[in-house]
Amino acid sequence: MSDMAAWLLVWPVAIPLIGSALAIALWGRPNAQSAIGLIAITLQLVASLALLGHVWTNGPIAMSMGGWPAPFGIALAADTLGAGLTVAASAVALAILVYGLADTNIEQRRAGIIPLLLALMMGVAGAFLTADIFNLYVWFEVTLISSFGLMVLGGRREQLDGAVKYAFLNLLATTLLLIAIALLYGMTGTLSMADLSGKVANLPDDAPVETIALLFLVSLGMKSALFPLHFWLPAAYHTPLPTVSAIFAALLTKVGVYSLLRVFMIVFPDGGEIAREAMVWIAVATMIVGALGALAEADIRRVISYTVMSGVGVMVGGLAIGTELALIGTTFYIIHSIIVSAALFMAAGMVARAGGGTRIGDLAGLYKGAPFIAVAFLISGLSLAGVPPLAGFWPKVYLVQAGLQAGEYAIVAGVLASGFLTLILVGRIFALVFWREATDGARVTAADTASTSSANDSTLLKSALGALAALTFVIGVYSVPVVDMSSRAAAELLAPEAYIEAVFQSPAQTAAADTDSAEAPR
């Protein structure tokens, strides 16, 4: 592997960092910031595609920062899972940014949405690409602090209320993660995930591996909104701007699930029996509670918040089964969920524009004035429920098959039941909000408000939503690339030797010292 190739790892993290810094330097000039945001996210997408291409042909790569050889240095590393999720995240972020440029007004952009969004993308890419567990914590905090800023942008009463719960509970979760990392370091003396992989397996029998694994499950489970630690998500996700809700729903919980995959497949490939046992039931409970919670809500955005949680249950269900087939399902589902969660929150934001609110009972007949939103919502919603031939169908096929093979019938039942409940939810929203005749004259329909938003904005909003809805359709019909990628990712998770070897042989880049100190202050 050439040294140059390893630099591919740096760019998905460095580009948003540079973009964010430039955008902060141009504070108060929202148009320049918007241009920087678009360029930075596009470049991030290109860089992560290049990274995925390299990983696809050459296997996992790693790069040690500051010239310190592994396991002493902090390494960035990418396998198919990390690179693939970076691609998915930056692609969806691009759509969300386009949406956001039309959806936010000049005041909101002046308040700094672009630099915060770029900082968030830096944190997400960093979390996907780091090979060091303390560095993972740092990226979590980078993501968290930028999400705090995005959360309160606008400063409405409702937002502050949601932000209080979001901030306290997420901060608690990352502190618990730090405690777990500290205890793990105390036992093994290393922080490199590749090094931990071997050392945890060789610990003496009386080492509290189970306790630490459970602590990881609790802290990362809280970050990914697993039952019963999910309360912050439905309390907060419906309050910020639609753009912000979309990016939160698309990315934040997935970073938690990704970290669970990393920790339980690479750091504790064997240990953590109690945590794995618990994970089965936690996953099933998350699926069902999420779907039931959504059923009880009367506001579209809150319904979608609960379905995000239900989806997290499905992903963790695959991890709990732990076979190759199940991990294929989980990886595919993460990618599908990134796309669809963003699309649904975008659609909800457009419903609010067209219909003047998001309460299901207050809306009717939107199909007449806004057929585009209706169709895009229906496609995304059916994909979420797992209706063939949309993208959400295939990961569920893999998970159900894996569950039947492994004898984990509870997870099979959970996946099917939550899919069924989601179908009811989507059908109900579609029937009431879009399909029902608007009999009451007081109801605002899209035709009345169409004139208030400029045609240009509406094109941008539609193209962003349309792109994601089309993506979930295309992935469903032509699922081979994503299945291939998920299969490779699952195989690498089950046999992480190549990943570990890549980290230990990572070229020591002395020139990278500056980049490192800027990205990950230690």
Partner 1 sequence: METILAILVGFLFAISVYLLLSGSLIRLILGVFVLGNATHLLIFVSGRLTRESPPLIDKGLKIAEVGIANPLPQALILTAIVISFSLFAFLLVLSRRAYRTLDTVDTDEMRIAEPEPDTQPMRGRDV
Encoding tokens for residue 288? Answer: 């069902």
Query: How many Cβ atoms sit within 10 Å of the Cβ of residue 186?
Result: 9
Give min distance, CB of 79 to partner 1, in A. Answer: 25
Beta bridge partners of 359: 299
Q: How many residues sit in the footprint of partner 1 (CB under 8 A)?
A: 51
Going residue by residue from 303 to 332, which x/- string records binding to partner 1, judged by CB under 8 A? x-----------------------------
Q: Choose the stretch contacting partner 1; rule: CB under 8 A; options: 12-20, 134-142, 197-205, 410-418.
A: 134-142
List the beta strands (DSSP E) in 56-188. 61-65, 75-78
Give min distance, CB of 367 to partner 1, in A. Answer: 16
Is-contact 261 333, C-beta < 8 A? no
Nearer to partner 1, 163 or 512 (CB): 163
- 356/482 Cα distance (integer angstroms): 38
Rounded to the nearest 10 degrees, how much is the dihedral formed by the CA atoms of 291, 293, 294, 297?
Answer: 160
Give min distance, CB of 161 to partner 1, in A. Answer: 4
What residues contact residue 431 under an 8 Å CB cut-off, 6+ apart? none
User: From its phi and psi, is residue 189 left (phi > 0), alpha (psi between -120 and 50) or beta?
Assistant: left
Going residue by residue from 47 to 86, which x/- string records binding to partner 1, judged by CB under 8 A? ----------------------------------------
Q: Which of 29, 110, 368, 428 binds partner 1 (CB under 8 A)?
A: 428
Going residue by residue from 146 to 185, which x/- string records binding to partner 1, judged by CB under 8 A? --x---x--x-xxxxxxxxx-xx--xx--x--xx--xx-x
What residues contact residue 427 under an 8 Å CB cut-off, 6+ apart? none
Beta bridge partners of 86: none
Q: Is 407 exposed, middle or buried (0-12, 13-18, 19+ CB in 10 A)?
A: exposed
Is-contact 299 360, C-beta < 8 A? yes
Nearer to partner 1, 179 or 274 (CB): 179
Q: Which of 97, 138, 343, 464 binds partner 1 (CB under 8 A)?
A: 138
295 scored as a contact of partner 1 (CB under 8 A): yes
Beta bridge partners of 78: 61
Nearer to partner 1, 162 or 221 (CB): 162
Site for partner 1, residues 358 to 377, rule: CB under 8 A: 359-362, 364
Element (H, E) at 509: strand 508-509
Site for partner 1, residues 226 to 265, rule: CB under 8 A: 234-236, 238-239
Q: Which of 79, 103, 195, 297 binds partner 1 (CB under 8 A)?
A: 297
Q: Helix 324-355 to helix 371-385 angle, to the nearest 10 degrees?
A: 160
- Contact set with partner 1 (CB under 8 A): 134, 138, 141, 144-145, 148, 152, 155, 157-165, 167-168, 171-172, 175, 178-179, 182-183, 185-186, 191, 234-236, 238-239, 295-298, 303, 359-362, 364, 428, 432, 436, 439-440, 521-522
